[in-house]
Every structure is written in structure tokens, then in C-alpha cells.
Structure 1
């Protein structure tokens, strides 16, 4: 039994959910697919699939084997493309995980440029503000901002952005403009639960930390944007998050004499897998994009 062919067959069976669908994709008969999986189970001496009237589901051993087999196939394909010099023209499927608002504002509008340069490439975008399990989700590259919680992940910093305290002119006209970080205690603040509630400022070598609280706490950046644009208060955020509004004056910065720690944008790659040319070039594309953004 050809090991690579057996892994490829099993991966297709899991991803399609049936022997017949996998056979159609592979261009072989269904009996050949069933026989290959049976031989694979016999060689491994473990059951890989649970067969029901509703389809096929991998066992725990089957799921573990699927994930490792899929990674091995991807790395083998990547090695072959690299040897042939195929990295110039990317092909296949790239699975990207990224925060929703950041992607909507900065990455997805520029995707046509990246896809036009690589007409044989398809992109799956998984939009989620939370850090997910890249291996379990089959993600090739994740775009994340701020501190990284997964110390085992392979990460590369691709851009650095500014943080500011911002609010709408309407809110500031109603509540007044803070002149010192301590003034934030007298303001309505919208709390983004993904960030700490203690804000640290510096000016002329002096540091000030302010613990803020507010009546509204949101878990996603889209909620933060909606609340600020509804004149509900001020917040600390990356300038990337409100780039269009800052440009057109819909929101303004306050406490500009004070500096906040910058925010880093990271390209994060799954641990234990070789970085693909697709993921590497996409990271470079997004890095160039963000570093050219005012």
C-alpha cells in the first residue's frame, strides 16, 4: 500500500464525509476508496471511521491521524512546489484567521489585488476576534494584534500601530475634553473586554496608570465601534480600528500629549507545521499593506 496515497484518500474521505464523494474527487471507484481505508485501518490496527446511515465520522484516533496526515500532505506538496519553483505562482487553498473588524476595514478590501496576482489560489477567511486553535481549525495563518497568549505558536511581527484615546465630537461637546489621564475617571468609557481595564500613559518620562470602568463592556470590536459612533463615551483603541473615522473627523483623538504603548500586528502560524509559501507571502502582503497605511 502506498502510504502517501492512503493518507490522501483518508483525508478526502474525512473532508467529504463519504467514500463516494472522495472517490469522485480522486477519480477512482468507490470500492477502491473503501479498500484503501480498510487496508490503512488494518496496518494501523485501529478503527479510523465510524460508519453510520448518516455518513462517516472519524474516531478519536481517526481525527488525530487526519490532522497529522493533512499536515504531512501539505508539507509534501509545499516541498514539491518549492523544488519546482512554483512558489512564484501560488495555488490551492489558503485558510486565514483574523479579527473581524480589522479584516473588514483593511484586508478584505485589498484582497482582489492579492488574488489577481495568484489566480490559482483560493482564500478561506475565518473571522473571529478570539484566538482559536489553528491546528484544529486547519488554519494556515492567523492575523492577531497585541500580546500573544499561545507561547507555542510560531509568530512574526509584521506591523506596529498607534494606540489612542478617541471619542466623537458630539460626546466631547457634551462631556468635555479630558486634559490629563486622571480626567478619564469623570468620563463614560466603553470597555473592550479583550484588553486590560488599566490604561498606562507616558509623557516626558513620567508614567501614569489609570483604571477605567464603564457601564458598557463589549467583547467584539464591531460592538466597540458601534458604541463609540453612537456617542456613548470614549475608549482606548488602535488607530487601525477607527481609521476611516479618524481620517474624516467622525472621531477625534484626545490626550495627544500623552503616549500609549503601541500595538503590534502578528502573523501567527500553526505550531508543528512548516510555514507554507502561501502563508508566508500573505503575511508579507498584509505587512506591506499596513506599513504603507498612514
Structure 2
């Protein structure tokens, strides 16, 4: 078997041994290589012997020091191998030194449906992205964005068509979409067959309040110009649309919700005709978004 075959058929090799071998050949001396590498001369000799033992071939003539034919072949391979190892080490070090991108997104319960697709796009565009998603009460979203606790906020509420939500915080708000509002009524309710409802006529009815799922009573009073009315003898905390639908179907009271939220086989959705209000969702962010935030924003419909 020739020297090339011996080298190519052997599992190579501790890179530290390769580096020592290359240094000995380049300096022409075991002692000079030892000084350059910070080893003792005995350690250099031991490393060369280990390498030769692994490869089952003599790599160096000792007096004078120089590469054998097999050593010359190994030298042709060793320098590119060591260069690639150094390149790999440098690239990994750069990755480790690069701060990971972070995206902290928050949404009110009914706005959270808009997070998944743009978040997926942001993670595809930024593979090292650290993402956190929080579902918060409506009232907390805008404040969390304004203070930097969140990078992105999605919040919903009731407003006149094409009017922005009333936020009163210094953030950038972008409309994501609008949906009609409905009153889900039991099939046996006297108003269930109506084609539309005027909330002014229902202000004295009993209402069910499920915060962050139904339109808040304060919004209904503001929209109808009523200072009283829209009483809520039943409040259910936790923001569960399924529970709300069951309560409405059982006749516990009324609620105004976006179409499709309170689905139940015992309910029929009757549209709100007056006053003219819709369910609106807005994206909130600070004025200068970071790269992951910008990708999220661009991916929204």
C-alpha cells in the first residue's frame, strides 16, 4: 500500500496533532515548533509520534528534520483542514457574540387570532429570533407597548366605522380589520327574528359582562349617549367566549360581540344596526420598530 492510500484510508486526526506537525515542518525544528506552540520539545516529539502511530507511517525525517513522502502528502491536506477548522471556529464565535433578536408580542383575547401568521413570517426571516406572546386585558396592551414592555400589541374594541380606537397613549396604531357587531339571542327571544337591533332600545335590558370578550358597557353607553343603562348583574371574569355563549343561550342577559365569537346552537346572531359601531382591531408599536417587529408588521394583511 502506498503512502497516499495509507493516509486516505485512515480516520484523521486530532487537529492539535495536525497543527504541531505543520509547525514542525514549517520551522524545520522540533525545538522551534515547541517554542512557537508553547510546548516542551518532548511534548512536540510525543505528538508527532502519536500522529505517526495513528497513521501507521513515518511522516518526518529526524536528522535533518523534513517531511517524508507520506508527510508531504499529509501536509497538502493538513493546511486546508486547519484553515476550515479556524473558519468554523470564527463563524461560531461570531454567532455566539451576535445578540439574539427578540420580539415580545401581546394581544387582547379577541385580537390574538392575528398573531400566528405574521409571527411565523418573522421567525422564518430571523431564525435566531426569541419570541414571547402574552394575552393581556385590552386596557394593558397600549400601556405595555408605550413603556417598551411589548414590541408589538394587538388590541380590539368598538368604534365608529373607520374611526380609530381611543387609546390616549403615544404609540403608532395601524388598523388590522373591522368586523360587524351582533347581539347573540336565544332562538326563543322575542327579538331573535329581527334583521337588526337598535341598542338605544335595549339599554334597560340586563347585560352579561365578560371583560375583553364583549363590548364594554362604557363603550355602549358612550355610543348611545346614555349615562345609565346597560346594567350587568352578572360579570364573568376570564375572557372565555364559550362560557359567554352558554350564558347567553341560557338567558342570563345580553351582550354585544363581534360576529362569530359567541357561537352556540341555541343562539342566533342579530346585527347591531344603530348606533353605527363596528369591532375594530389595531396593531400598536413604537415609532421606530426593530427588524423583527418590522417583519411582523409587513406580514400583516
| Normalised TM-score (structure 1) | 0.49
| Normalised TM-score (structure 2) | 0.48
- Rg: which structure is higher? 2
